[in-house]
C-alpha cells in the first residue's frame, strides 16, 4: 500500500540516505534504530511535516508528496508523535476534534462534541474519562492515549506511532495493542517506531532496522532475536545488562518520614541507603513523580520530614534551592519543560547548577573553565554533538537527557532522584545511563529511580518500592520480585476491598 | 557548524550598517545633514534614552516589561530639582537621592511582581501612574529652573563635540552588556527568560534575580533623569512622558525578543541611534509630527519582522558579514 524508494534528506548532515521502505495493508511494521538514525525524520516526511530532498513515495498506487500535515491527514496518513501535542487549557473533547469541531454557523455543538469524544475515548479504553476534563489535569500517559484517540477518530489508512508506549504502563499498553489489532483487521497499515524489543515481538509483523539513514535489513518480527536487532542497529554487540549487585551500605543516604503532598502523596515513608539504587514503580498517577518533587522542594508538602545523610535534624526544604544545598539533585520527568534551556548551548545547560564554580574575581564567568567541565562531562556520558557551543535543541533526546544528568554530576550530590531517566532514549544511550547509575551508587550516593519499565527496574535496582494511589503498597527485594507481583501491587490501591486478592 | 543563531559580531555589524545607511539616506534627502554637527547633536540628545533602554533590555531578557521608566524618570528628576533648589543639598547628595528614589521605585515593581505574582505589565503600568502623580505632587506641577548646577553634564566637550553625558551613557551600555554576557547574574537572567521552571529545578531561586532586574531598571531611569534634567536645565514633572515606548521600540529594533531569553544592550544602543536618526532626519526634511509617528511606527514593526525572518533563516542572510569578520569555529567530531 505504501512504497518508499531512495528517500534522501539532509539538514547540515545527511539524515536519510537512499532509504527504502514498504508497508502492506493490515501489517504492523516496526522501525528500529539508534537515535539519530533517521526514524523520526522519516515519520515526519510521511506525515507531511517536512519534505524529502529526493526520492519517491507511492501511496495506494499514486505518487504521494504531502506539503503539510493537512495534506497527509486528508490522504489518510496520520502520526502520533513522541512529544505530546495536547493543549492543556482545552478539554479532552476539544483536543480530539480541534480541527473538526461540530458546529452550526460558527457555534460549537457541545453536546454532540461530548458524544463524539466519548466514542473516541472508549476506543482507547478511556471510557470513564469525562470528555470535559481540562487536558492539563491528565497525567502524561493519559494525554498520550487522548492523542491516539484523536488519530483513531480520523479516517486513517496509515497510522504512524512514534514511541507510543514511552509514557504508558503495562495495562495501558495492552489496551493500545488491542486497538492496534483492531485497526489491522480493518486493513489499516501501522508504522511502529520504538525502542522496546519486547513490544515489537508482541505486536509487529515485520521489523526494519535503520542505521545512519539507511535500511540495514527487514525481518519478520517473530523470527529475529533482540540481540540480532541491536547488533544491526549499533553495528556491534552491546555488553549484557548486569543485574544489581550488593553494594548498598548500612548508612542512610535519604530518609523520608510521613510525607504527604496535596492528595497525590499520602503518608509515604522510606529510606534510601548510601550505595543503593532504590526503584519506585507504580501506575501513572500513583504519585511517584509527586513524591520526588515533594522531596526536592518543587512541590509544597503538607506534612512529613526529610532527613539527608545520618542527620537527626529534618532538612528545611521549601524550594529546590534548599534541596540542592542539602546535596539532593533531581533529573525531572519531562526534560523539555522542566530541564532544558532549549535555546541555549550545551555549555550553558551543563553549568547551570554550578555556576559559582566557574567564577573569576568579582562575579565574572570563566568561559574556559565552563567549556572544560562541559567537555569532561560530555566525554564521560558520551554526548554526541558538534561542540559545547551547539544549541541543545538540535541534539537528540538521548543526548539532551545526558546533558541534564551532567548538570547534576557537576554538582556532586549525595542523593540523586531520577524520574524516568531513559524515556524516549535509544538502546545505546540507555546502557550508558544504566552504567552511570551503577557507578554513582558505587561511589556511595543514594540513588532513587522512578520508572515505568519494569524490566529496567528489575535489572538495575537493589530494592523496589511499589506505589499505588499515593501510598507505598509493597517492597520487594531481588529474587522476590516479578512483573506480575509488581503490577499486582501497583493496582492494589485502586481495587475495592472485596476485589483484593489474598 | 550550524547553531541556528546569527553570530553576535555579525549582528552588530549589520546594525551599524543599517544606521549608517539611514544616515546616508537622510543625507541625500536633505542638505547639511551629513555633518559632524548633526552627529554631535544626535549624540547629545540621546543619553537618557540610551541608559533607560539598557535597563529595559535586561527586563525584556527575563521576559518581563517595565512600563514605568518614563514616570520614574520624571519622579526622580522632580526629586533632584527639589533637593537642589529647595533643600540646597550638596551636588552629590542630590544625585544620590535622585538615584535612590528611582531604585526604590524599581524595587517596589520587583517586589510586587515577584512576591505577589502579578505580571510585570500590570505592576509597572500601575507604577507609571503612581510615579507620575508623585512627580506632580513633588513639584506642585511646576517646572523648576535649575540654573547652571547640572549644565556641565550636557555641554559638548571641546575636542570631541559630544557631551560627558553621552560618554557616560556609552560606559553604562558597555557595563550592562558585560554584566549580561559575562556575569553570573546575567547568565541567570538569560536562563530565567529561557525557562524559569528549569532554572528553579536546577536549584536556583529566580526571585532574587527578578527583583534585582527591576531595581536596576529603576536605577537606570534615575540616571536618565540626571541626563535629561541637565540637558533641559530645569526639572520638569512632564519629563519622560512616553519614554517607555521609545525605549521598548529601541530595544526591539535592536533585536531583543519580547519573549525573553536573549538580548543585547549594545544592539539596543544601535536601536536608540536608529530611532534618533529617524526623528532627526524626518525633522530636517520638514516632516510634521504625525508623519514622524507613522514612519517610526512602521519602522518598529518592520524591524521585528526582519529580525524574526533573520533568525528563521539561521543567520544565512548575514553570513557574508560574519565570513568577512572572522572564521567560523570548527566543529568537534
Paired residues of A113 in beta bridges: none
Interface test with B, best of A387, A395, A406 (most B CBs within 10 A): A387
Residue A491 is placed in which grid cell? 493496582
Q: Residue B41 falls within a domain, yes or no?
A: yes
Contact state of B194 with A342 under an 8 Å Cβ cutoff: yes
What's the number of CA atoms in the CB half-sphere (13 Å) around residue A483?
9
Contact state of B191 with A325 under an 8 Å Cβ cutoff: no
Q: How many domains does chain B have?
A: 1
DSSP A83-106: S----TTSBHHHHHTGGG--EETT
Which pTM value belongs to this model?
A: 0.74
CATH number at A252-499: 3.40.50.300
Contact state of B203 with A337 under an 8 Å Cβ cutoff: no
Band the pLDDT of B7: cuts 50, 70, 90.
low
**Burial of residue A368 (number of CB atoms within 10 Å: 0-12, 13-18, 19+):** exposed
CA pair distance A365, B261, nearest whole angstrom = 18
3-class SS letters over A318-362: CCHHHHHHCCEEEECCCHHHHHCCCCCEHHHHHCHHHHHHHEECC
Residue B110 domain boundaries: 8-25+34-325
Closest chain B residue to the Cα of A353, Cα to Cα? B202
Residue A56 is placed in which grid cell? 519517491
pLDDT of residue A254: 94
pLDDT of residue A243: 52
Task: Find out if CATH 3.40.50.300 is the number for domain A2-86+138-234.
Answer: yes
Q: Are A35 and A41 in contact (CB under 8 A)?
A: no
Q: Are B183 and B81 in contact (CB under 8 A)?
A: no
Residue A367 is placed in which grid cell? 568561559
CA pair distance B66, B247, nearest whole angstrom = 10
CATH code (residue B14): 1.10.3470
Residues 6+ apart with CB under 8 A from A485: A474, A476
SS3 content of chain B, % helix, strand, coil (to 5): 70, 0, 25
Closest alpha carbon to B214 in B242, B241, B189:
B189
Paired residues of A264 in beta bridges: none
Residues 238 to 267 of B: which have CB under 8 A from any A CB? 261-262
CA pair distance A291, A465, nearest whole angstrom = 12
**Along chain A (502 residues), what's the average pLDDT of each consecutive run of 10 residues?**
79 77 90 73 86 86 85 85 78 86 86 89 80 84 79 82 76 80 84 81 89 84 77 57 60 92 90 93 85 94 92 90 95 92 94 92 90 94 89 88 94 94 83 91 93 86 91 90 79 56 44
Paired residues of A490 in beta bridges: none
Residues present in chain B in total: 333
Percent of chain B with pLDDT strictly greater than 70: 91
pLDDT, tens digit (0-9, with 9 covering 90-100), for B226-281? 999 998 888 999 999 989 999 999 999 988 888 888 899 999 999 999 999 988 88
The residue extents of the domains of chain A are 2-86+138-234, 252-499
B262 neighbourhood in chain A, CB within 8 Å: 343
Contact state of A298 with B201 under an 8 Å Cβ cutoff: yes
Terminal-to-terminal C-alpha distance of chain A: 51
Closest alpha carbon to A180 in A29, A324, A323, A10:
A29
User: Do A2-86+138-234 and A252-499 agree at the fold level?
Assistant: yes
SS3 content of chain A, % helix, strand, coil (to 5): 35, 25, 35
Amino acid at each position: 500500500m505504501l512504497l518508499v524508494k531512495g528517500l534522501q534528506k539532509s539538514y547540515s548532515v545527511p539524515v536519510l540516505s537512499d532509504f527504502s521502505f514498504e508497508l502492506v495493508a493490515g501489517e504492523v511494521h516496526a522501525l528500529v534504530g539508534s537515535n539519530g538514525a533517521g526514524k523520526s525524520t522519516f515519520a515526519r516526511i510521511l506525515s507531511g511535516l517536512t519534505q524529502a530532498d529526493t526520492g519517491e513515495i507511492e501511496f495506494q498506487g499514486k505518487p504521494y508528496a504531502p506539503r503539510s500535515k493537512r495534506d497527509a491527514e486528508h490522504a489518510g496518513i496520520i502520526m502520533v508523535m513522541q512529544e505530546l501535542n495536547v493543549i492543556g487549557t482545552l478539554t479532552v473533547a476539544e483536543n480530539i476534534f480541534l480541527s473538526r469541531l461540530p458546529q452550526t454557523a460558527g457555534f460549537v455543538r457541545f453536546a454532540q462534541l461530548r458524544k463524539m469524544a466519548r466514542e473516541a475515548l472508549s476506543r482507547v479504553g478511556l471510557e470513564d474519562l469525562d470528555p470535559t476534563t481540562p487536558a492539563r489535569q491528565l497525567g502524561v500517559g493519559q494525554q498520550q492515549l487522548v492523542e491516539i484517540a484523536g488519530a483513531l477518530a480520523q479516517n486513517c489508512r496509515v497510522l504512524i506511532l512514534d514511541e507510543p508506549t514511552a509514557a504508558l504502563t503495562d495495562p495501558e499498553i495492552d489496551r493500545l495493542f488491542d486497538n492496534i489489532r483492531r485497526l489491522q483487521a480493518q486493513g489499516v497499515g501501522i508504522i511502529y517506531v520504538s525502542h522496546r524489543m519486547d513490544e515489537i515481538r508482541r505486536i509487529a509483523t515485520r521489523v526494519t532496522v535503520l542505521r545512519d539513514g539507511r535500511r540495514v535489513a527487514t525481518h519478520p518480527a517473530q523470527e529475529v532475536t533482540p540481540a540480532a536487532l541491536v547488533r544491526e542497529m549499533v553495528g556491534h554487540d552491546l555488553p549484557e545488562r548486569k543485574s544489581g549487585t550488593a553494594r548498598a551500605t548500612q548508612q542512610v543516604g535519604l530518609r523520608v518520614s510521613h510525607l504527604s503532598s496535596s492528595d497525590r502523596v499520602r503518608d509515604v515513608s522510606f529510606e534510601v541507603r548510601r550505595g543503593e539504587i532504590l526503584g519506585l514503580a507504580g501506575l501513572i498517577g500513583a504519585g511517584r513523580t509527586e513524591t520526588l518533587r515533594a522531596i526536592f522542594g518543587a512541590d509544597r508538602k503538607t506534612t512529613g520530614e526529610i532527613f539527608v545523610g545520618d542527620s537527626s535534624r529534618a532538612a528545611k526544604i521549601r524550594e529546590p534551592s534548599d534541596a540542592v544545598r542539602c546535596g539532593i539533585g533531581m533529573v525531572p520527568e519531562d526534560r523539555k519543560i522542566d530541564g532544558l534551556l532549549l535555546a541555549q548551548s550545551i555549555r550553558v545547560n551543563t553549568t547551570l547548577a554550578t555556576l559559582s564554580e566557574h567564577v573569576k574575581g568579582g562575579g565574572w564567568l570563566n568561559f574556559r573553565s565552563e567549556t572544560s567541565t562541559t567537555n569532561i562531562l560530555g566525554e564521560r556520558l558520551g554526548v554526541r554533538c558538534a561542540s559545547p557551543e551547539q544549541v541543545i535543541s538540535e541534539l537528540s533526546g538521548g543526548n539532551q537527557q545526558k546533558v541534564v544528568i551532567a548538570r547534576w554530576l557537576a554538582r556532586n550530590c549525595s542523593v540523586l532522584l531520577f524520574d524516568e531517566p531513559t524515556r524516549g532514549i535509544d538502546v545505546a544511550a540507555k546502557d550508558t545511563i544504566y552504567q552511570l547509575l551503577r557507578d554513582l551508587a558505587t561511589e556511595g550516593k543514594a540513588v532513587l529511580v522512578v520508572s515505568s519499565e519494569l524490566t529496567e527496574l528489575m535489572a538495575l535496582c537493589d530494592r523496589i518500592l511499589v506505589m499505588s494511589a499515593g501510598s507505598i503498597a509493597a517492597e520487594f527485594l531481588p529474587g522476590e520480585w516479578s512483573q506480575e507481583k509488581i503490577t499486582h501491587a501497583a493496582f492494589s490501591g485502586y481495587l475495592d476491598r472485596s476485589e483484593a486478592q489474598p | 557548524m550550524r547553531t541556528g543563531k546569527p553570530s553576535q559580531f555579525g549582528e552588530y555589524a549589520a546594525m551599524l550598517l543599517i544606521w549608517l545607511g539611514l544616515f546616508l539616506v537622510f543625507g541625500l534627502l536633505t542638505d547639511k545633514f551629513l555633518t559632524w554637527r548633526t552627529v554631535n547633536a544626535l549624540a547629545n540628545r540621546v543619553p537618557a534614552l540610551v541608559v533607560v533602554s539598557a535597563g529595559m533590555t535586561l527586563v525584556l531578557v527575563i521576559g518581563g516589561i517595565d512600563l514605568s521608566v518614563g514616570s520614574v524618570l520624571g519622579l526622580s528628576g522632580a526629586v533632584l530639582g527639589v533637593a537642589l533648589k529647595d533643600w540646597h543639598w550638596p551636588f552629590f547628595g542630590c544625585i544620590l537621592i535622585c538615584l535612590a528614589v528611582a531604585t526604590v521605585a524599581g524595587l517596589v515593581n520587583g517586589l510586587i511582581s515577584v512576591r505577589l505574582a502579578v505580571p510585570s505589565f500590570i505592576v509597572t503600568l500601575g507604577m507609571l501612574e503612581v510615579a507620575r502623580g508623585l512627580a506632580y505632587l513633588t513639584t506642585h506641577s511646576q517646572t523648576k529652573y535649575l540654573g547652571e548646577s547640572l549644565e556641565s553634564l550636557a555641554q559638548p566637550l571641546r575636542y570631541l563635540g559630544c557631551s560627558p553625558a553621552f560618554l557616560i551613557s556609552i560606559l553604562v551600555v558597555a557595563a550592562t552588556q558585560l554584566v549580561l554576557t559575562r556575569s553570573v547574574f546575567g547568565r541567570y537572567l538569560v536562563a530565567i527568560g529561557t525557562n524559569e521552571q528549569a532554572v528553579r529545578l536546577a536549584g536556583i531561586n529566580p526571585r532574587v534575580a527578578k527583583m534585582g532586574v527591576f531595581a536596576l531598571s529603576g536605577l537606570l531611569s534615575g540616571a536618565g533623569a540626571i541626563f535629561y534634567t541637565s540637558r533641559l536645565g530645569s526639572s520638569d514633572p512632564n519629563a519622560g512622558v512616553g519614554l517607555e515606548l521609545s525605549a521598548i521600540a529601541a530595544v526591539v529594533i535592536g533585536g531583543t525578543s519580547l519573549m525573553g531569553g536573549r538580548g543585547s544592550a549594545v544592539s539596543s544602543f544601535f536601536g536608540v541611534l536608529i530611532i534618533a536618526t529617524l526623528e532627526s532626519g524626518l525633522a530636517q526634511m520638514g516632516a510634521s509630527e504625525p508623519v514622524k509617528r507613522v514612519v517610526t511606527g512602521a519602522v518598529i514593526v518592520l524591524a521585528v519582522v526582519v529580525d524574526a525572518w533573520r533568525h528563521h533563516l539561521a543567520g544565512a542572510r548575514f553570513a557574508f558579514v560574519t565570513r568577512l569578520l572572522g572564521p567560523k569555529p570548527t566543529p568537534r567530531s
